[in-house]
Structure 1
């Protein structure tokens, strides 16, 4: 896959909003090592500098994965809290005198979601609707974040693979340079 295609895929994910505030490195698989290493923008002759740069991309991906997983955990905690709140509200509505409290006196229910800063008040029916909408929204966000974790994990794997590929290529090149050249007759058969 070319770097341009990966960046295009990354831009699509960034537009979802999950990675908008995170600096996802432009990682692409190295397909042609000779072409890649001959480009002075990639390799200036210092293999340590190149591998450090590639390893930094992998480290950046690991940091982003941690942030995304923290976001997933917050969404899951919010979802669990909503379930508890719905059960509690259901219990309140079933108690004797609930009709007077919630219908006649029009008592409102306070809603505070863990992933939001403000607390709002709603009538019981509106509160139940808000809970339902929020739960659906959270499920979608969790799936989206999980997809982004998969994508960044893939980029981390590509980064690691690139580091190994570059090191192996460099090691082979250095070994080949240090070997004595073979005589011209090697590889020719008798009688040619």
Structure 2
């Protein structure tokens, strides 16, 4: 697969939030099979080479889809954990003696998000602010990843349709050649029985 056949991954929404090293192949629906197959850049007579190339594009899309789904799962798990942590902090703040712990004794709240390697300790107002910012950013990331999963799922489907379309076209072409090359009286003997 040539580099000119690759589409920059930045076309996906989730890639706007940071640099990604993933690439998507150029997958487009084959609209006119005759035109597609007559182009020597697409088909040079070797159906296996063509279907292998189309399958490689489909597999590349599946690989990107898998990575996106894993990232989406991580972000969703992180969101769930943040919600749980906020509820637990809220319960701690409402307990008797919480003012002593958090205001007088300056007890810190330890924060660690599942999708980050860093952790830190913060006073309650800072912790609540960080939770709020994290929830907002997770919400945006989840929406972007969800949209990208849909987009790449569509590309996987198009790639598979293209593979099936090419195979069906080739099979039909071979059958038509075989039928035309048979002598006319071959079918007659079958009809007599």
User: TM-score w.r.t. structure 2 length?
Assistant: 0.81
**CA contact 1:33–1:166 (8 Å) conserved in 2:** yes
* Aligned equivalents of 1:161, 1:174: Cα separation in 2: 20
The equivalent of 1:127 in structure 2 is 127
Q: Which moved more, 1:32-41 or 1:162-171?
A: 32-41
Unaligned runs of 5+ in 2: 1-5, 182-193
Tell me the residue number matched to 2:190: none
1:77-116 equivalences under 5 Å are 77-116=77-116
**Counterpart position of 1:12:** 11
Work out the CA distance in 2 between the residues paired with 1:167 and 1:129.
Answer: 57
Q: Deviations over 1:88-118 (max 9, x none)?
A: 1112212222212211232221110000001
List gaps (5 residues or longer) in structure 1.
1-5, 182-192
Task: Give the C-alpha shift of residue 143 in structure 1.
Answer: 1.2
Aligned match of 2:50: 50
**Which segment drifts farther, 79-88 or 153-162?**
79-88
Per-residue CA deviations over 1:33-52 (Å, capped at 9, x if unaligned) read: 22211222211211011111
Q: Deviations over 1:45-67 (max 9, x none)?
A: 11011111111222222222222
Per-residue Cα deviation, 1:127-178 (whole angstroms, up to 9, x for no partner): 1111111112111111111111100110011011101111111122223333
Root-mean-square deviation (Å): 2.3
Aligned to 1:165: 165
Please state how far the C-alpha of 1:12 moved relative to its aligned partner.
2.5
| Aligned mates of 1:18, 1:144 — CA distance in 2 | 12
Deviates more, 1:156-165 or 1:25-34: 25-34
SS in 2 for 1:107: coil
Q: Distance in 1 between matches of 2:167 and 2:47?
A: 8
Q: Kindly tell me: are residues 60 and 17 of structure 1, through their superposed partners in 2, closer, same or farther at Cα, counting changes over 3 Å?
A: farther
Report whether the alignment pairs 1:74 with 2:74: yes
Maintained 8 Å contact 2:7/2:24: no
Distance 1:71 1:96 in 2: 40
Q: Which shows bigger deviation, 116-125 or 88-97?
A: 88-97
